[in-house]
């Protein structure tokens, strides 16, 4: 629907809101005048429904190496005229290479809230499952909605809403919600509902319908998507225009990837070969779509994608999506292509950043050359973000490769534990410390034998730290590592410190730690109308991690009260993240009540789609994860801003 993940998940980013033109429901956001964001800056969070006004200039902050603060620095410290960061409204600027951006793009799998509603229900006072500690009570009950409820109640109601409404916000919200919640037994009716919207006069409705066909995941939707992608006569009849709009073709390429049919791979590769640089969004949509596939034909993409990656004449932004797609495909024959990019210091900066990220998904502890190049990047690469991605990739390799045995693998894991411990505390490499803390959490969660020692190191860093950005990263790391003896200190700091950025992340850390003593405090902030929207969201996420059932009614009341846009966004996302069936009734009341504004009803549609989603994680999680968010292309930026 109508907001970016960053807007809704961090108090830091909610203060960065830059006026953009945004179409609701599909979350399709275009900068004023159609201009693309600068390639060197991260996608700016949107203001929903605002007027078309130019984005203000954004300042710059951290410098590679040491000394400068990652994520935030004093406003105007570097003249305030660059393109690296955004004003937080609190006297600091958020740098594009701050860890917060990475977390907002990769946190879904760490949170995994819906999965927690299915397996075990924690008794009052018991620690959370994520820590792996304490007493748990098994129950056959689940707080997630059943498919019978979804199929018999939600889907018919939303289909009727699409048929009866002419409001664009409701239409694009409802059709995407239908795609999210419907399974194959309902595919025919959802495709029939989406098809007329492909020729709707409003772009956001058309693109949302296109994307919904992919999110539906049914092979029956392939025919229409293929025709849209290739701009065929049938595709033009579907949209009732002389040609298929470029953005619809881009979404069609990405949507085909979500369906994951082996028969579509040759068509997607052929289109990629035929398109020109003027078709940047379509090419990127196809590349990202290929990265979502795992069929029997996907290995045939490695050679052509690797060859294209070496083409210096090609659009560098398009090329920057190839390494992460190769990483997601997971075929290790792509390793040499990524290593070659990283060895080439003259290669485009965005492409090298993506190669550092992609390598973390392909390499294992047996790949000495890959590990060596990542270590070398961490040591002295001139680009800060490439270094940061390399740190995360080293952690990802050690965390994901649990099969490699023997002395060599053991020594490499030990070396990585030492590396992360040193980087967390190293005053000479301050820009690495937050990233190292997150990497330590990934490593420790996967390898319990080293978790305690890493947690002790992060605790030392936390207790020493005064900077809210570093302290936030350390708090999250402590939560992810299950450092329960630090929970009372985190709650004390949450109540004592005034920085809302820190307090939001501390709330989530308390949730990870299962610190039920924080429930009343967090619930009070959720209920308080003066609480900043994304701080309220993080408090709600903390409550969801703690499995507090009272938060659902508070959030439902917030949305029904026709609040401000920011509060609508926060309440919608928080309700959806809980995945709790008790949210269905208040949301359906809003959807069906014509006395509510169309925008509030559209938000309720979105929340229903998230609550009833057929998968544990949001459909766009796999796109957001390990995506180089500094490479800005409309088709991806807009997909990642969908609730």
- Averaged over successive runs of 10 residues, the pLDDT of the chain (643 residues) comes to 36 27 33 32 32 26 31 27 33 62 91 64 33 32 82 96 96 97 97 98 97 98 98 98 97 98 98 94 98 98 96 94 98 97 94 98 97 96 96 97 92 96 94 97 96 98 96 98 98 96 97 96 87 85 83 74 74 73 87 90 92 91 95 94 85
> Alpha helix (H) ranges present in 132-186?
147-149, 155-164, 168-181
The CA-to-CA distance between both ends of the chain, in Å, stands at: 5
CA dist., res. 375 & res. 379, Å (int): 6
Question: Is residue 556 domain-resident?
Answer: no
Question: Is residue 530 domain-resident?
Answer: no
How far apart, in Å, are the Cα atoms of 340 and each of 169, 367, 380, 389? 46, 14, 18, 17
CA dist., res. 391 & res. 435, Å (int): 7
Measured from the Cβ of residue 171, the count of other Cβ atoms closer than 10 Å reads 27
What's the confidence (pLDDT) of residue 134?
31
Measured from the Cβ of residue 629, the count of other Cβ atoms closer than 10 Å reads 21
CA dist., res. 542 & res. 503, Å (int): 11
Pairing of strands 85-87, 92-95: antiparallel
What's the confidence (pLDDT) of residue 572?
76
Question: Is residue 58 domain-resident?
Answer: yes
Question: Is residue 193 domain-resident?
Answer: no
What's the confidence (pLDDT) of residue 504?
96
Spacing of C-alpha 562 from chain mean position? 27
Question: Is residue 75 domain-resident?
Answer: yes
- Measured in degrees and rounded to the nearest 5, phi and psi for residue 406 equal 100, 175
CA dist., res. 48 & res. 531, Å (int): 19
Count the alpha carbons within 13 Å of 537 in the hemisphere toward its beta carbon. Answer: 27
Question: Is residue 88 domain-resident?
Answer: yes
CA dist., res. 490 & res. 166, Å (int): 49
The continuous run of DSSP H or E covering 28 comes out as strand 28-30
The angle subtended at Cα 143 by Cα 142 and Cα 149, nearest 5°, is 95
CA dist., res. 360 & res. 355, Å (int): 9
**Number of structural domains found in the chain:** 1
Count the alpha carbons within 13 Å of 543 in the hemisphere toward its beta carbon. Answer: 29
Under 8 Å between Cβ of 124 and 134 = no
Q: Is 30 helix (H, G, I), strand (E, B) or coil?
A: strand
What's the confidence (pLDDT) of residue 116?
64
The continuous run of DSSP H or E covering 261 comes out as none
**CB-based contacts of 100: which residues, under 8 Å, 6+ apart?**
10, 12, 13, 71, 94, 469, 472, 501
Report residue 68 as tokens.
């400068």
State pTM to two decimals.
Answer: 0.84
What's the confidence (pLDDT) of residue 17?
26
> Alpha helix (H) ranges present in 300-406?
302-309, 316-319, 321-329, 335-343, 349-362, 368-380, 384-400
10: containing domain: 1-99
Question: Is residue 54 domain-resident?
Answer: yes
The phi-psi region of residue 331 (left if phi > 0; otherwise alpha if psi is between -120 and 50; otherwise beta) is: beta
Question: Is residue 32 domain-resident?
Answer: yes
């Amino acid at each position: 629907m109508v907001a970016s993940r960053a807007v809704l998940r961090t108090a830091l980013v909610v203060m960065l809101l830059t006026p953009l033109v945004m179409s609701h429901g599909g979350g399709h956001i275009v900068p004023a005048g159609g201009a693309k964001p600068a390639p060197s800056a991260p996608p700016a969070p949107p203001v929903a429904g605002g007027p078309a006004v130019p984005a203000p200039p954004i300042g710059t902050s951290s410098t590679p190496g040491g000394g400068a603060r990652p994520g935030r620095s004093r406003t105007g410290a570097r003249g305030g005229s660059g393109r690296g960061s955004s004003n937080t409204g609190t006297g600091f600027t958020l740098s594009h290479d701050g860890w917060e951006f990475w977390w907002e793009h990769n946190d879904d799998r760490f949170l995994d809230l819906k999965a927690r509603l299915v397996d075990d229900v924690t008794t009052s006072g018991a620690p959370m499952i994520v820590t792996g500690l304490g007493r748990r009570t098994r129950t056959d009950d689940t707080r997630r909605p059943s498919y019978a409820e979804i199929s018999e109640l939600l889907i018919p109601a939303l289909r009727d809403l699409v048929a009866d409404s002419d409001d664009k916000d409701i239409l694009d919200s409802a059709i995407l919600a239908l795609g999210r919640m419907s399974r194959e037994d309902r595919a025919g009716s959802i495709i029939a509902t989406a098809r007329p919207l492909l020729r709707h006069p409003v772009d956001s409705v058309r693109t949302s319908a296109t994307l919904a066909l992919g999110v539906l995941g049914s092979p029956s939707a392939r025919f229409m998507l293929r025709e849209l992608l290739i701009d065929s006569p049938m595709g033009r009849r579907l949209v009732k225009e002389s040609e298929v709009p470029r953005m619809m073709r881009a979404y069609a390429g990405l949507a085909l990837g979500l369906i994951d049919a082996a028969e579509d791979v040759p068509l997607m590769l052929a289109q990629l070969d035929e398109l020109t640089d003027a078709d940047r969004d379509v090419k990127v949509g196809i590349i990202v779509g290929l990265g979502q596939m795992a069929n029997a034909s996907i290995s045939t993409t490695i050679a052509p994608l690797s060859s294209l990656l070496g083409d210096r004449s090609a659009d560098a932004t398009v090329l920057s999506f190839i390494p992460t797609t190769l990483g997601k495909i997971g075929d290790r024959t792509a390793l040499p292509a990524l290593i070659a990019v990283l060895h080439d210091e003259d290669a485009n900066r965005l492409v090298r950043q993506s190669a550092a990220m992609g390598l973390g998904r392909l390499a294992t502890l047996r790949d000495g050359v890959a590990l060596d190049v990542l270590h070398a990047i961490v040591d002295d690469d001139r680009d800060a973000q490439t270094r940061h991605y390399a740190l995360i990739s080293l952690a990802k390799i050690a965390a994901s490769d649990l099969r490699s045995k023997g002395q060599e693998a053991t020594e490499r894991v030990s070396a990585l534990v030492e590396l992360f411990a040193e980087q967390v505390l190293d005053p000479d490499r301050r820009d690495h410390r937050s990233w190292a803390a997150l990497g330590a959490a990934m490593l420790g969660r996967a390898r319990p034998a080293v978790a305690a020692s890493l947690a002790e190191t992060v605790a030392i860093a936390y207790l020493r730290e005064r900077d809210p950005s570093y302290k936030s990263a350390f708090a999250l790391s402590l939560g992810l590592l299950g450092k329960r003896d630090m929970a009372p200190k985190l709650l004390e700091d949450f109540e004592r410190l005034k920085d809302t950025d820190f307090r939001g992340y501390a709330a989530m850390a308390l949730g990870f730690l299962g610190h039920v003593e924080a429930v009343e405090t967090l619930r009070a902030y959720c209920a308080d109308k003066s609480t900043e929207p994304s701080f309220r969201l993080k408090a709600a996420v903390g409550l969801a991690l703690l499995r507090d059932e009272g938060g659902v009614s508070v959030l439902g009341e917030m949305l029904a009260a026709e609040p401000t846009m920011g509060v609508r966004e926060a309440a919608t996302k928080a309700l959806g993240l809980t995945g709790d069936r008790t949210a269905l009734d208040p949301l359906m009341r809003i959807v069906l009540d014509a006395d509510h504004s169309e925008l509030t009803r559209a938000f309720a549609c979105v929340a229903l789609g998230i609550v009833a989603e057929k998968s544990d994680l949001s459909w766009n999680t796999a796109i957001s994860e390990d995506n180089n968010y500094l490479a800005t292309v409309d088709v991806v930026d807009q997909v990642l801003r969908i609730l």
